[in-house]
Amino acid sequence: MNLSAYKEAANLFYGLGTGDLIYDFAQNMCREAFDGAISPEVRIILTTAQSAYNQSYGWCWPEQNTIELVRQHCKSTSEGIVPRDNRSLLLTLAHEFCHLYQHQVLGGKVGSRGPHRCRSWYDAITKASPYICGVDIEGICKPFSSKRENGAVVKIENPASLTEVELTHWPRSIYKLVEDKDSRLKDRIVDGAPVLAKKNFIAGSNIFQKNL
């Protein structure tokens, strides 16, 4: 299927311009954040089912070229399954497209502690952060350093880095750090408003204003 077909199918199944919303966003993220290295021609499924993984917001299945956005984002209406909140939906979609980049471009190599605590994840979100979050996080994605004590290697927290939890919950965590004026992000804000800034969404509605 090409992008138009994916978009048309999503509009048919989910209505309310949801196909336009998610695929226009995906197309622009792939082009602007990842320099066209991955394709937005992906099955994006909205479901009211609960994820089996840690009550996750979404799931990426790179082998099936599929992204699933689950119950926290979706609700059943007379028009079918629709998003609860467009901004939250797109924040999760951005996260899952980073997993797609992690697998398709960076080789999918993950550490023993999972796909969010490894170099390939840190590299993927570093690549996407200027466009998605308006922040350059290059160089602050090393939450631990190592040293040898009494013949054993021990991990030491790196206070200049983003933490494992913050890196795991990208991009929501970065937006929160920007709001809190976290000192680790000093002088790291890039020109132009981040694509998913709250001001791009009309208060009290489900409309995304920014021209994708």
- What number of residues does the chain have? 212
> Which tokens go with 147?
């040293």
Do 196 and 132 form a contact (C-beta atoms < 8 A)? yes
Please state, in angstroms and rounded to a whole number, the distance separating the CA atoms of residues 167 and 160. 13
pTM of the full predicted structure? 0.89
Residue ranges per structural domain of the chain = 3-200
How far is 168 from 188, CA to CA, in rounded Å?
A: 19
71 to 8, 47, 64, 81, 97: CA distances (angstroms): 22, 6, 20, 10, 19
Hey, is 80 helix, strand or coil?
strand
For 43-93, write each residue's pLDDT tens digit: 999 887 665 555 568 889 999 999 998 767 777 777 677 777 889 889 999
Residues 73 and 55: their CA atoms lie apart, in Å, by 12
